[in-house]
Structure 1
Amino acid sequence: MKHFLLTFLCLGLLHVVGAQPNIIPKPSQILLARGEWTMKSKTKIGAPEDAKWSHVAGMLASQLSKATGMDIKTAKGKGDITLAISSDASLGEEGYRLLSTPKGVTIQAQTAKGAFYGVQTLLQMLPAEIFSPVAVPAVKWTVPLATIKDVPRYGYRGLMLDVCRHFMPIEFVKKYIDLIALHKQNQFHWHLTDDQGWRIEIKKYPELTTIGSKRRETMKGHYSDQKYDGIPYEGFYTQEQIKEVLKYAEDRFVNVIPEIEMPGHALAALAAYPQLGNNPDKIYKVGTKWGVYDDVFMPREETLQFLENVLSEVIELFPSKYIHIGGDECPKTQWEESRFAQDLIKKENLKDEHGLQSYVIKRIDKFITAKGRRMIGWDEILEGGLSPNATVMSWRGIEGGITAAKENHDVIMTPGNFVYLDHYQADAKTQPVAIGGFTDLAESYSYDPTPKELSTEEAKHILGVQGNVWTEYMKTPAYVEYMVWPRAVALSEVGWTSKESKNFEDFSKRLETHKKRLDYLGVNYFGAPINDKFEYVWPAKK
């Protein structure tokens, strides 16, 4: 940092108070000076001779060229904008330094990932039109003179998307990943199987998609109305499509975590393979109503082998360190009434049906660990005894996270009242139908993922925070966007920015500029111009 400050002193530049650029999430340290650097048609982007660094430079050049109409090129080594490898260990894997002077911009990082996050900051220092999908040549492309050092608070900063209740097309999934990356989040949690649809091709079990991806109809209106639309619904991703998404995410330094639900939320799988359930003679049908079903996997050896075979294909497909197995909302009714389940409880000396669920989870955890991966489950996996290598997602409040951290397990905080983006965000009378609850922008922003109840050592197990998006009532990508942003923007700052640097009033001011960026990106955020279908309408010819 010293050499950056010396540069500013040598230039005779002064720190400007009260003129902070509108960067989200807010960086760790910012020093501003009077003046600006102007990008011109012959601007070049320099980068180390390394594939990942060159890729970051190429993505920046592409965005700058598209919005400015200039032909911005990349080069090896130094440029007008330079990406440079730093030896500063304090930056870690994801931190960066950005220095803008009258001569140009330098972004230093230890890794290409850190440089990529520095690029996101640089884009936000330019006029909002830099995010335009078409050239806006009349704009003066300037960057304020500044020195920035930026390191994230948490290593895990995620956003989840449920595509089981309502299937989302590949192009929208890519846009979702783009927005994750723009906000310096690094995890995309892809919820792929549930009662209402199985959305991932498994080659060993083709009926999971030929049968399990289709339901005969969908609930119409709110759950309390108990009405149905009578329209068949289907959709799934082939493994080739998933590979396409994974490459897209990798290019943007976003890790994709697959979720394969077990032992509950299994109805779509049981519709395809009824022998895996409690009653092999029952005709199971893919779920058409929302909520929780009693139909769950029966933990026979055949079922466990099925789950391991499915996970083998998933693990082969997804490079993610983490594999999510759900583990939530598993009713025990059928196990209580099953002679096989009760005999298994006695045979394995388990305490009760919660112990039986733990038995299943531990078996799967052992399998995933043997494959060199880590298992994640919702906080119900604490019931009956926590599997030794499990990471817990605490969604039913913060208590599960506290318990897991005190038992030296890693935790991702996802408590419903702060981060569930299917809740209403305004008066329900003025909004399209949603599941219920109320979580506005201020509440999401106010969240602190590290519980006060934890000691310093225990708090190290809090990996980070994630926003969850359940799509029972989100039939279209436009409505997903309406519910997710800008609350997910707030959560990006919760995950990145230090607790001491957060301020909602300041965030709200920066957000007004950020909304202009979202406008150019065509995001149907809450508060954007919309029609009576709550779909985005491009602002009147800017």
Structure 2
Amino acid sequence: MQTPSPSKPSVCRANARVAATARVLFALCLLSACFANAAAQQPAQTTNQNTATTGAGAGGVVQIIPAPKSLTATGESFRLTHDAWIVLAEPKSEDERFAAQDFADDVRETAGVNLRVGTGGGKGQILVGTLDSPRVRAAVEKAGVSVPQNLDEEGYLLAASANGVVVAGQSAAGTFYGLQTLKQLVRGEGEAAFVQGVKIADWPSMRWRALSDDISRGPVPTVEYVKRQLRTEAMFKMNMHSLYMEHVLQYASHPLIAPEGGALTPAEIRELVAYARRYHVELVPEQQTFGHMHKALELEEYNDLAEVPYGDVLSPQQEGTYKLVSDLYRELDELFPGK
């Protein structure tokens, strides 16, 4: 007797679950070093500050990566029925709409639930906005979540009960991070999908949470691959992505350095910078200058700038060295208008 094959939607959602699990495992490795150090230096403000797991509630234990500063599982659950809406406190805010749609897309992919984004809706509301909105502030107070005095610009509050969900950021970035946490609280699929009941107050221990990616060795990543990295990092509240480069950026002032077809173009960098900002990630260049420059110095045009013939270190005694470095930095400054 043959076993019937699973339906295509079930397979797709199963694959999405696998992908989501892979992202979690990736993040565990990615975040362990930086967050463990920060947690070790600060006294615990709640009993679960340094763990990603808290007591069992609806749907089992609540697991969040990275662990929030304060997390209380209520044992309730918010059902993601066809009546559920994602409600924008400020409909004109592009940041809030983008973050809400990002959450809705993730729920559709992983749980097979289509959530509408708008300003109305019935009782089943996921209210999204910043704490300076009277509507959001009132919802937070009604949910019984207090605003910590040290809640910084990237901080957020999240409350989920049987009656609704509120995600309140101190800023647009905080709202975005609150929705990233909400992604991890979704359990089940289809009509059985729900959000675990919690009360959360969270903010980062460090201003910058970064990943440095060496793109000069091996195949240069495609734009789509870097975008996937940015989305994954943002999901786990990292806010800086640094590209380590030696010869893999096409400079207009020195076009010979980058190999044809093996480098990122200025147009691609601009696209990635804009994309990263939607996810509250700063794209930062790491361009080698005095050292690790063999790919440039092996070229006859630049060989006289090498400390030794065809070496990998620029000579500080050559005036051309400073012009080369100045040219590269000038273009980088225009392409990466970060902080």
Instruction: Using structure 1 for the length normalisation, give the TM-score.
Output: 0.45
- 1: CA distance, partners of 2:248 / 2:157: 41
Does structure 1 retain, via aligned residues, the 8 Å contact 2:213–2:243?
yes
Aligned twin of 1:200: 249
Aligned twin of 1:86: 131
Quick one: which of 159, 169, 185 aligns to 2:211? 159
- 2: CA distance, partners of 1:269 / 1:184: 36
- 2: CA distance, partners of 1:201 / 1:246: 16
Listed one character per residue, the Cα deviations across residues 229-270 of structure 1 (whole Å, up to 9, x for unaligned) are: xxxxx7111111112222221111111110111211111121
Decide whether aligned partners of structure 1 residues 115 and 77 sit closer, same or farther in structure 2, where only a CA change above 3 A counts: farther
Aligned twin of 2:303: 274
The alpha-carbon deviation at position 69 of structure 1 amounts to 4.0
- 2: CA distance, partners of 1:303 / 1:173: 31
Q: Which amino acid aligns with 2:155?
A: G
Listed one character per residue, the Cα deviations across residues 354-400 of structure 1 (whole Å, up to 9, x for unaligned) are: xxxxxxxxxxxxxxxxxxxxxxxxxxxxxxxxxxxxxxxxxxxxxxx
**Structure 1: 5+ residue runs without aligned partners?**
1-15, 130-135, 215-233, 285-293, 322-542
Q: Which amino acid aligns with 1:298?
A: S
- 1: CA distance, partners of 2:303 / 2:120: 61
Does structure 2 retain, via aligned residues, the 8 Å contact 1:91–1:109?
no
- 1: CA distance, partners of 2:271 / 2:207: 25
Secondary structure at 2:77's aligned position in 1?
strand
Quick one: which of 41, 49, 63 aligns to 2:82? 41
The alpha-carbon deviation at position 77 of structure 1 amounts to 7.3
The alpha-carbon deviation at position 28 of structure 1 amounts to 0.6
Does structure 2 retain, via aligned residues, the 8 Å contact 1:30–1:149?
yes
Does structure 2 retain, via aligned residues, the 8 Å contact 1:42–1:71?
no
Quick one: which of 80, 93, 105 aligns to 1:50? 93
- 2: CA distance, partners of 1:297 / 1:310: 14
CA RMSD across the alignment: 2.2
The alpha-carbon deviation at position 18 of structure 1 amounts to 4.9
Q: Which amino acid aligns with 2:334?
A: E
How many residue pairs get aligned? The number is: 260
Secondary structure at 1:161's aligned position in 2?
strand
Quick one: which of 279, 282, 293 aligns to 1:252? 279
- 1: CA distance, partners of 2:297 / 2:55: 62
- 2: CA distance, partners of 1:66 / 1:179: 15
Aligned twin of 2:337: 319
Secondary structure at 2:291's aligned position in 1?
coil
**Are positions 1:176 and 2:229 aligned together?**
yes
**Are positions 1:150 and 2:177 aligned together?**
no
Instruction: Using structure 2 for the length normalisation, give the TM-score.
Output: 0.71
Decide whether aligned partners of structure 1 residues 206 and 17 sit closer, same or farther in structure 2, where only a CA change above 3 A counts: closer
Listed one character per residue, the Cα deviations across residues 144-174 of structure 1 (whole Å, up to 9, x for unaligned) are: 2111001111111111111111122222222
**Are positions 1:239 and 2:266 aligned together?**
yes
Decide whether aligned partners of structure 1 residues 263 and 144 sit closer, same or farther in structure 2, where only a CA change above 3 A counts: same
Does structure 2 retain, via aligned residues, the 8 Å contact 1:94–1:114?
yes
Secondary structure at 2:180's aligned position in 1?
helix
Listed one character per residue, the Cα deviations across residues 189-242 of structure 1 (whole Å, up to 9, x for unaligned) are: 11111xxxx111101111011xxx37xxxxxxxxxxxxxxxxxxx711111111
Secondary structure at 1:200's aligned position in 2?
coil
- Equivalent residue runs for 1:82-481 within 5 Å: 82-87=127-132, 90-127=150-187, 137=190, 140-166=192-218, 167-193=220-246, 198-209=247-258, 213=259, 235-272=262-299, 273-278=302-307, 282=309, 284=310, 295-299=312-316, 300-321=318-339
Secondary structure at 2:288's aligned position in 1?
strand
- 2: CA distance, partners of 1:249 / 1:103: 34
